[in-house]
Amino acid sequence: MNFPSNLRYTQDHEWISLEGNVATVGITDFAQSELGDIVYVDINAVGKELKEQEVFGTVEAVKTVSDLFLPVSGTILAVNPKLEKNPELVNNDPYGDGWMIQLTVNNPADVEALMDAEKYKGLVH
């Protein structure tokens, strides 16, 4: 299981990477392995300003559908266009090509307040 140290993590198994005030968000390696084969990603939040912990979409696996929760407050800028035709990228490369959204973060300090890789590893082990 992979826990990149440059990312921050939530208890809902999302990861976030911040560059300036723009963040990239996806689900963790642990989350995708628990869900199984992902067949559809449904995110219709581009342009919306959402609060921390609000649902920004869903991910559908063969056996379940799971909500996606925003790690920090911000405005959704983009959805990964590759996921429409290749949702399995979330399984194959959750921290790379399987990213889900990019957003403008309202308060970058909120990202620092999330779990680091060691804390997240402790949560899932």
Could you tell me which CATH number the domain at 8-107 has? 2.40.50.100
CA–CA separation, 81 and 94 (whole Å): 15
Q: Give residue 38's pLDDT.
A: 98
**What's this model's pTM, rounded to 2 decimal places?**
0.96
Q: Give residue 93's pLDDT.
A: 98
Q: Give residue 125's pLDDT.
A: 87
> 């440059």: which residue's tokens?
6
Where the chain has pLDDT below 70, the residues are: none
Which sequence spans correspond to the domains of the chain? 8-107
Give the tens place of pLDDT for each residue, 80-114: 999 999 999 999 999 999 999 999 999 999 999 99
Q: Is 113 exposed, middle or buried (0-12, 13-18, 19+ CB in 10 A)?
A: exposed
